[in-house]
Amino acid sequence: MNAIEIRNLTKAYPLFKVEDVSLDVKQGFITGLIGPNGVGKSTLIKMMLGIVRPDAGSVKILGCEMPKHEVDIKQRVGIVSDDCFYYEHLTIRDTMKMISPFYKNWDNKRFHRYLDQFELSPKKKVQDLSKGMKIKLSLALGLSHEAELLIMDEPTSGLDPIFRREMLDLLTDVMQDERNTIIFSTHITTDLDRIADYITFINRGKLVFHEAKEEVFEKYVIVKGDRQLLDQDIRSKFIGIRETPVGFEGLLGDKEEAEQLFGRYAVLEQPSLEDIMYFTAKGGAVHA
């Protein structure tokens, strides 16, 4: 089953457009939404949640259409973001008192356990929280009403490395219940190397791919070699290529083709998600 079904979602701002994005987010898995700054990740997430109204297209969450069933859907969804939808002047305790009555499955004990674990004082005002603390608060709120789907916008940015790791472990725990689903936007791709099952790559408002992480690593390959191996025809096969006076390094989207083209004359390496993002975003030739 799909936790989220997006069809032909489009939103045009004066200087930017999310264009015709269709996507199925599988229930029971962690999907990482990656892409450079400003390519539309947050806009896409906001459209999923009904915060931004799309110009065209549709969104279904947990089998129900948005925004028609928004109220029911939000019972089952946890939103994690530092983009505050709380009242800044309230304390954490008052924020909890305001939010908790909306949730049928609110668990007060659990909320306070998370506050302890995240070292957040209930007396602190939201306006005095750092970016990382706001992420922690929204995570505590999201995890305290038995959300089956966590939608997280840049949850690890602004977090120190120690809490980032703790959070990734916490998310792995959440996934012990196989009904649970997480979608997680980030440009810190190393977090996804650790925990994601599926990778969705957005660039310039368009979907580049949505695939199982293993398949991504099966398919893409980094080729490094001498510039003499390149001609215009071979150059054009690269998704992105970086040339220096002596050599080149580039990304190809077909491992078999890379082996046929270069054989043992070049070094073929498995790319990281960051490599894939870098070369795809840069495209064409990059000269060092």
Ligand X SMILES: Nc1ncnc2c1ncn2[C@@H]1O[C@H](COP(=O)(O)OP(=O)(O)OP(=O)(O)O)[C@@H](O)[C@H]1O
Q: Which residues bind ligand X (CB under 6 A)?
A: 13, 16, 35, 37-43, 187
40/250 with CB nearer ligand X: 40
Q: Which residues of 90-108 are buried (b: 16+ CB within 10 A; e: fewer)?
A: bbbebbbeebeeebeebee
30/47 with CB nearer ligand X: 47
42/91 with CB nearer ligand X: 42
CB of 189 to ligand X, least distance (A): 12
Strand pairing category for 149-153 and 77-80: parallel
144/186 with CB nearer ligand X: 186
CB of 206 to ligand X, least distance (A): 12
CB of 39 to ligand X, least distance (A): 4
CB of 131 to ligand X, least distance (A): 12
Instruction: Using the Cα atoms of residue 60, residue 63, residue 68 and residue 70 in order, give the sign of their dihedral.
Output: negative
According to DSSP, the residues that pair with 60 across neighbouring strands are 5, 65
> Which residues are CB-contacts of 195 (< 8 A; sequence separation ≥ 6)?
30, 32, 168, 171, 172
